[in-house]
Amino acid sequence: MLVSDRTALIKSLAREIGFSFCGISKAEFLDQEAPRLEEWLQRGYHGTMRYLENHFDKRLDPRLLVPGAQSVITLGYNYFPANDLAATHELKVAKYAYGEDYHVVVKEKLQTLLSRMREQIGAIEGRAFVDSAPVMERAWAQRSGQGWIGKNSLLLNRQMGSFFFLAELILDLELVPDGPIQDYCGTCTACMDACPTQAIPEPYVVDGSRCISYFTIELKEEIPASAAGKFENWIFGCDICQDVCPWNRFAKPHQEPRFEPSAEFQAMTTREWQEITQEVFTKRFGKSALQRSKLRGLKRNVSVVTAQPG
């Protein structure tokens, strides 16, 4: 099979499985990202996320993750909900956590894609990644022309905004690479202006240690007093910089049943969040990304938010 034919086949299979886009890059060292990552770490913008200091070389060179790698396939999977619960609920949860954990759902889709590729192309060596290894997914997505990295550091796509998950297949398969597209942020600073914790100190640079998502998910210690009162009722993650982005006016509801919130989740009141027990937490959110904060972290977040003045 010609390289161009198998490239077209892979993109067709990805669409059939439900991926919103599929882009391809040559597997090589990310030379432009290396100094940016090093400076970001030196500034301490990763906070307590010490794991981001590990595997520096592997983050920048996919051939160290998959020996013999020739191509990086980037895929997007839409999670934009038809109903924004944050608009009608006092306490807010990031849209990506409404349904089943995306790591599980998207990884299954990736494995299906890889299986179908092997059926039609032949033996392929490679690995599938869904936010689970040292892979600079946004850099690869940008290189493959699936969008550009916005001032809030998220990948922005002209057709669907930024409410999608990124996933990668790193393979020992030669494919036709796509080229990058230009940056369409222009002079807009909506995301920077809207962030209540000033976590975007300069365009295209996010201080992770000041992000509401970091405080409510990654930080295992007590939330510092300096951040209290600035969460705008977000108890798990935050969508502020995405909600204000003009490109997200093009976002369309996903078609993935497993991302739909349960009736119990949609009916959760502030009092129920405050009084949630381990049994209820496990029953309602056992398959949810909310498990990342664990019950202790979630109750801490709820306490901090509901204790805010006003």
User: Which of 61, 131, 183, 243 is flagged as catalytic?
Assistant: 131
- Catalytic annotation on 131? yes
For the chain, what's the residue count?
310
Contacts 24+ apart (CB under 8 A), 101-106: 101/287, 101/288, 101/289, 101/291, 102/77, 102/130, 102/131, 102/165, 102/259, 102/289, 103/130, 103/131, 103/132, 103/289, 104/287, 105/77, 105/256, 105/258, 105/259, 106/77, 106/130, 106/165, 106/167
From start to end of the chain, where are the E strands?
Answer: 21-26, 71-78, 92-93, 126-129, 148-149, 155-156, 164-171, 234-236
Name which of 260, 253, 255, 248 is nearest 16 in CA terms.
255
Q: How far is Cα 116 from Cα 118, in angstroms, rounded to an integer? A: 5
DSSP state of 223: P
Annotated catalytic residues are 131
